[in-house]
Amino acid sequence: MPDIIKLLPDSIANQIAAGEVIQRPASAVKELMENAVDAGATNIKLIIKDAGKTLIQVIDNGCGMSVIDARMSFEKHATSKIQTVDDLFAIQTLGFRGEALASIAAISQVEMKTKKIEEELGTHIIIEGSVLKEQNVIQTANGTSVSVKNLFYNVPARRNFLKSDSVETRHIIEEFIRIAMVNPGIELSMLHNGKTLFKLLISNFKQRIINLFGNQYNQRLVSVEQTTSDVCVYGFVGKPEYARKTRGEQFFFANKRFIKHAYLHHSVVAAFRELIPSDTFPLYFLFIHIDPKSIDVNIHPTKAEVNFQDNKMMYAILNSVVRKALGSHNITPSLDFEKDPAFDFSDPPKDKPIKTPTININPNYNPFNNTSQNTKTYTNFKNKNENWDTLYPEKIATSFNDINKIKPVSLTDDRGVLDINTKSTFIDNKVIQFRNQYIITSITSGILVVDQNRAHERILFEKYLNYLENNIQASQQELFPETLTFNPADYEIIKEIKDEMYQIGFRMEKFSKNSVVFTGRPADLEDLNIAESVDRMIENYRNNLSDLNQNKKTNLAKALALSAAVKKGKSLKNEEQNALLDKLFACNAPESNPDGQPVFKIIALDEIEKMFN
């Protein structure tokens, strides 16, 4: 047998190593911006084209590099930030592994211009796929500009793996926000395809958060501060009433580094226990300062995870400071410090009357008139029969003989011509609601017990999927349009799913930066809490992004169904109970809800008989 082990050529080894550090455009943004912060910049500009796929440029006014350093910076394990192993345990900078520029240069076309303030001229370097193409002397501003073009141009498999522009942009915005939040002393801007997404002036922490997330955050935040001999914790937590169904506004920074830490997250959430519903997340922006010796940041290639020497102590401290902050907030609910009038136009003055919104109603409007093309209310019923359940809720009929067979039999071509005179199987039977949670009735083979919440989830899910797949757009105008403001990342999601939301029946107009006015809702969901269901759609969409089995439509139909369905505990009228059963068994898959949980059970006759033997 010949020997078979070979050393990989440098080019392949570099690409493999690069893959660990740079997974997508957002990773390059993070590394370049962190380098600018480490270089002591007070002004950093991020310029992006096509979600970073074509261009990522970071321009800073930091310390710049000498000719030799500029060339060296692209070498593997080349860093100015640590020299000895001991330094690893006293890290004050964001970078230290010396991998980022080498990795980026291995998988893109990089152009760097850099100049130290004390030097006359700067250095210009072009590197493509780790190969130096050009190096010369140029006139350039103090500081450094790095342009990364055509990321993954030489790793097609990786490039193909990138998500849509809006998804990649969202990741970039997330990284930008993380760096911006913890560096309010740095002026920052972000431009995407020529459009300014952020322009942030030097400010304090609270103003920076407000500038990133919107003015309304001024009212939402409670300050947190505690210094012990080992650690200093400060920042803000959200007032309990602003806890959201969507994750995404939870930020920990350890020594100015954004970190993910499930254990510490738990400690904050635990401090909110009993103040917020269990399925919501409090918002928090917490900065931890700790001796670099007590924290290991070298456990993850992208440094997103860290270990504290004393995790338990951190847990206890965080939990107690957050509790304390919430406690003082409860005693003095209007606690609002650092109030900057420039950012405070969210609450109207108390002595001014609030103007009630007015509405215009068209008395001649006929909701069943297809031809009017009125997009404002029940619109575009492509096929009236497809919406029969909306139009004739009390007359729905299915006729099947035995529920055990499940399939409805006499709905002509499933949902085609509906004989509204056919009597429901259930109408003659006694149907009862048990504990405001189950609908119970007798069927030939036993007793049918239906979970009302899951049943309605299934019904709505199939209905919205049908809307989405068949381009039915049934919408109902809001009497009082509701304006919701999103954080920039969520706003990107809204942009991604807006067409589908339109088809389900939502009508939205852009209000101002990151705000949307909801002028219409799905036609038959009078009681829908718009904020909650939109939150849930965002959350669901975000969580399922990587799950290829769940396409966008299924995803949204499911999210809306879950948030709009009648909950347990809701008392239903007898007709509603009947309608629920009828609609359920007209579904394609009545057995389970969209999460795959069983919707009904049958207590078989022979089981009942056994009980009495």
**From 46, 91, 100, 431, residue interacting with ligand ADP (rule: CB under 6 A):** 100
Question: CA 318, CA 324: separation in Å to the nearest integer?
Answer: 10
Instruction: Map residue 136 onto helix, strand or coil.
Output: strand
Cβ within 8 Å of residue 134, ≥6 positions away: 124, 125, 126
CB of 497 vs ligand ADP, minimal distance in Å: 35
Q: Which is nearer to ligand ADP, 78 or 508 (CB)?
A: 78
Task: Answer yes or no: are the C-beta atoms of 560 and 595 closer than 8 Å.
Answer: no
**DSSP output for 244-288:** BSS---EEEEETTEEE--HHHHHHHHHHTTTTS-TT-B--EEEEE
Question: CA 329, CA 289: separation in Å to the nearest integer?
Answer: 24
Among ligand ADP, Mg ion, none, what binds residue 39 when CB lies within 5 to 8 Å by partner kind?
ligand ADP
Q: Does residue number 98 form part of the binding site for ligand ADP (CB under 6 A)?
A: yes
**From 96, 176, 198, 381, residue interacting with ligand ADP (rule: CB under 6 A):** 96
**From 14, 15, 35, 514, residue interacting with Mg ion (rule: CB under 5 A):** 35
Q: Which is nearer to Mg ion, 146 or 501 (CB)?
A: 146
Q: Which is nearer to ligand ADP, 69 or 310 (CB)?
A: 69
Q: Does residue number 144 form part of the binding site for Mg ion (CB under 5 A)?
A: no
Task: Answer yes or no: are the C-beta atoms of 33 and 58 closer than 8 Å.
Answer: yes
Structure tokens belonging to residue 602: 């049958």
> Would you tell me how many other CB atoms lie within 10 Å of the CB of residue 464?
27
CB of 64 vs ligand ADP, minimal distance in Å: 6
**From 28, 33, 91, 101, residue interacting with ligand ADP (rule: CB under 6 A):** 101
- Which listed range, 78-86, 124-132, 275-283, 328-336, lies at the site for ligand ADP (CB under 6 A)? 78-86
Q: Does residue number 105 form part of the binding site for ligand ADP (CB under 6 A)?
A: no
**From 22, 24, 48, 95, residue interacting with ligand ADP (rule: CB under 6 A):** 95
Binding to ligand ADP by CB under 6 A, coded x per residue (else -) over 33-72, reads: --xx--x--------------------x-xxxx-------
Nearest to 396 by CA among 256, 581, 612, 202: 581
CB of 1 vs ligand ADP, minimal distance in Å: 41
Q: Which backbone phi and psi does 208 adopt, to 5 degrees?
A: -60, -45
- Which listed range, 93-101, 469-477, 518-526, 586-594, lies at the site for ligand ADP (CB under 6 A)? 93-101
Q: Which is nearer to ligand ADP, 52 or 62 (CB)?
A: 62
CB of 171 vs ligand ADP, minimal distance in Å: 19
Distances (CA, A) of 507 to 483, 515, 517: 12, 14, 8
Distances (CA, A) of 26 to 97, 163, 172: 18, 12, 4
Q: Which is nearer to ligand ADP, 95 or 505 (CB)?
A: 95
Greatest Cα pair distance, the chain, in angstroms, is 101
Task: Answer yes or no: are the C-beta atoms of 397 and 424 closer than 8 Å.
Answer: yes
**From 23, 54, 66, 80, residue interacting with ligand ADP (rule: CB under 6 A):** 80
Q: Which is nearer to Mg ion, 58 or 411 (CB)?
A: 58
Structure tokens belonging to residue 406: 């499940």
Nearest to 197 by CA among 179, 223, 177, 219: 177
The residue at minimum Cβ distance from ligand ADP is 95
3-state secondary structure 47-108: EEEHHHCCEEEEEECCCCCCHHHHHHCCCCCCCCCCCCCHHHHHCCCCCCCCCHHHHHHHCC
CB of 37 vs ligand ADP, minimal distance in Å: 9
Question: CA 428, CA 572: separation in Å to the nearest integer?
Answer: 18
Q: Which is nearer to ligand ADP, 57 or 425 (CB)?
A: 57
Q: Which is nearer to ligand ADP, 58 or 181 (CB)?
A: 58
- Which listed range, 75-83, 299-307, 365-373, 520-528, lies at the site for ligand ADP (CB under 6 A)? 75-83
Return the residues of window 87-126 that contact Mg ion according to CB under 5 A: 95, 100
Residues in contact with Mg ion by the rule CB under 5 A? 35, 95, 100
Residues in contact with ligand ADP by the rule CB under 6 A? 31, 35-36, 39, 60, 62-65, 73, 78-81, 95-102, 144
